[in-house]
Amino acid sequence: MAKMSQDCMDLINNAYAAAVATCSADGVPNVVCSSMKQAYDDETVTISDQYLRKTLANLRENPRMAVSVWDDEHGYQVKGIVTYEDEGERYEAIAAQVHAILSSMGYDFYSKGVCWLHVEEVYSLTPGDQAGERIA
């Protein structure tokens, strides 16, 4: 398992949204935008499921995911295997956190589940000679 740098984790946690990519078993890609994401630790990214219909269908067929985040100066892409939880202590903690954030914004949405991305690779999205280079 690869480890994300502190800068990568900070960008995941502070970027407004992330591009979340999955692929069906027969190779059809799907990319969605998610603002309810966090670097849980240096080996794990969580993505809360409010509306992940196609994403979840893809993950059931092919449990691989890529998450990309960026700002005006740099970015990262994180790839790995996903497990999905919709019950238990970890799910309840993330779901409560997501509900509190969304409620504070005036939304009454709940997390249906949590994608736990177990990081296997990290790539640079920073423009320049090392763009696309694997860094972890």
Place of tokens 């892409």: 77
Question: Which pLDDT value is given to residue 109?
Answer: 82
Average pLDDT per run of 10 along the chain, which is 136 residues long? 96 97 97 96 97 96 98 97 97 93 88 97 96 96
Closest CA to 122 of 61, 42, 47, 53: 42
What pLDDT sits at residue 111? Answer: 92
Amino acid present at 122: V
- Position 108 scores a pLDDT of 84
pLDDT in tens, 22-48: 999 999 999 999 999 999 999 999 999
Which pLDDT does position 1 carry in this prediction? 84
DSSP the chain: -----HHHHHHHHHSS-EEEEEE-TTS-EEEEEESSEEEEETTEEEEEESS-HHHHHHHHH--EEEEEEE-SS-EEEEEEEEEEESSSHHHHHHHHHHHHHHHHTT------EEEEEEEEEEEE--SSTTTT-B--
